[in-house]
Chain A
């Protein structure tokens, strides 16, 4: 793996970089989005559509949890096939193995013990030990993987929080020593909502021989306000030239917060949840202050960033979701058709919508990178957050 930060733009901690990894022949620009998958594929997009309908190479980063594979096809079979890339026939994609998955493998801190980490999955509660985890990962041959962590939410006791850091460090060392084949490892950093513990964990992990850092324990109920300090408590203690990956920061504002703290890689379930609900992103990516003064919040449940395709106002709307969008869905289909598909519960609705939403969200990341490269990230972030507030304020006060 090769990672380099582009120097020379003063954006505070925010940085842009280039990642070159394993199977993917194209360099990936960061900050970048990893697409959430279940067993290696996005929820509603088949492998052929993944390559033909999503932008390249932005859409080549795929995140999965090895725990997805405890049900169904056995890891041994995956190993026999030659790993995930072979099994899914996605040879130019980058697979990142992360133990926790915000949809179906949620950390169960109450059941985690000194032997292993517990997760709540559709198949019940599972306890995974480091050795088992490493074995699972090695059969899948991801491009990089994250060590097993004891993630705890913001409200646990100090003692429990300290234990989680100790355990995570111990498991990190276990994973490193079990890593016979020299694969690319990201060390896990936890610490809950304690600045000191975040410091401690980050400093410890920074001393290990890893290729990057994964920051866990977020998206588990902490508030955005307390998170900023916790993020910087970690990133300030990490070497500048190594990639930082965070899970659990899904919303656009949260992503901006992460970028501001110096994060390079994000996995997010935002697209998945929007798609499930029938919401289509309509991000106006070039946004000026004051543009939204006339915005009317309709009863349809949408807002300035997304629309609810199930709403009856779209029944006869023959325009695409976003006029200027280049995605397959906007190039080929209308809101009216999607509205119909959602109303009759047809599979195609979610396929088309996930394609569009992924496109849009990847476009958002592209704007972030552009803003950083122009030295205007803080302004971009401020504009974004403030115009969101303005819209909601204007809508609320227009009643």
Chain B
């Protein structure tokens, strides 16, 4: 264990905490921008520090390809290579394999795929993934999991969940730097509460430094999404960080934080910026649109790093419900807050009646949420 997690304030399930990592002292809830190839596209480290970025995510798959984890290790690790003084997190490389490569195949050994460089067959095992991440040197590393999309149904989901549990043991065994890097396990199980429960229990037994909720943010409907998050956050230990992978939109971050999650990552803000879309409290501004051509007002940015900073301080200062209400009112001035948000906030114990045109009460309170 190479981290400390101390809760500083709460509102029902939501918590604001201090997460101490080897390279940086972070405040949660926090958002991690994705710096795929060892850089956040077009931003210098000073600019990133200025906007309050605490942890950057690096993609193991891309970095292992170029410039290779061996080179990064030889030059002193990714922090030194990038000259990033704060924290880093690397994913396992598994997701890119499955999503980017046509001929990827998952077996008990690991993920077999065709190398994009020379077409040779290659195998990414849990051991290999951890070794690569050990060489890269991030503060938090992710276990290799068997991730399936939530839009898939059938026995594959159960198979993937159990395999994820078997692989976590292999990851733990392969991890050579537990005092410098924190290995997070990832909860799988699709949208099935029974499978999710088994997976959570299995991971918690291994007493890991932190836990991620995986397999979401892949196209499932929002109603299913929040329920899985709610179930997992309720079952994961109080005193360890909870990371919802691949989230996301500002609204999702607020809802998940209300339900007790602490960490998020997504390509959304950086990607949408490259397409000329600005994130603002009211939603989005498509800056390339003709309507913007002669608009001389400033953008009024709601940077996701700043959103998480506001979340943190509102919880610590005991005004989280007011913050949530103001957030929703700005985003939905007509009061048309989506049903899934209303339901999630009901479970989170946050009264948002002032923001909603009409309240809906169809949440099944008897479920394990």
Contacts and interface: CB of A to CB of B under 8 A. Distances in A.
Q: Do A and B come from one complex?
A: yes
A340 B66 contact: yes
A339 B68 CA distance: 13
Chain A facing B: main interface SS: helix
B100 interface: no
A201 B67 CA distance: 57
A74 B293 contact: yes
A337 B37 CA distance: 11
B313 to A, nearest CB: 25
Interface stretch (B40-48, B87-95, B171-179, B206-214): B40-48
Interface size class of B (residues with CB under 8 A): 20 to 34
A77 B296 contact: yes
B302 interface: no
A315 B46 contact: no
Given A77-B294, A348-B44, A351-B44, A340 B83 contact: no
A73 B294 CA distance: 7
B43 A348 contact: yes
Contact of A352 (B44, B74, B294, B296): B44
Contacts of A80: 294, 296
Please indicate which of the listed interface residues A73, A80, A334, A344 has the most CB atoms of chain B within 10 Å of its own CB: A344
Chain B facing A: main interface SS: loop
A14 interface: no
A348 B71 contact: no
A69 to B, nearest CB: 12
Contacts, number: 70
B44 A318 contact: no
Interface of B: 37-47, 62, 66-67, 71, 74-76, 81-83, 293-294, 296
B83 A344 contact: no
Contacts of B296: 77, 80-81
Interface of A: 46, 48-49, 52, 72-74, 76-77, 80-81, 315-316, 318, 328, 332-334, 336-337, 339-341, 343-344, 346-348, 351-352
B67 A340 contact: yes
B39 A346 contact: yes
B75 A336 contact: yes
B66 to A, nearest CB: 5
Contacts of B75: 316, 318, 334, 336
B29 to A, nearest CB: 27
A339 to B, nearest CB: 8
B83 A348 contact: no
B44 A315 contact: no
A348 B67 contact: no
A152 B198 CA distance: 79
B369 to A, nearest CB: 42
Contacts of B44: 49, 328, 332, 348, 351-352
Given A49-B47, A340-B38, A343-B67, A73 B293 contact: yes
B292 to A, nearest CB: 10
A347 B42 contact: yes
Contact of A74 (B62, B67, B294): B294
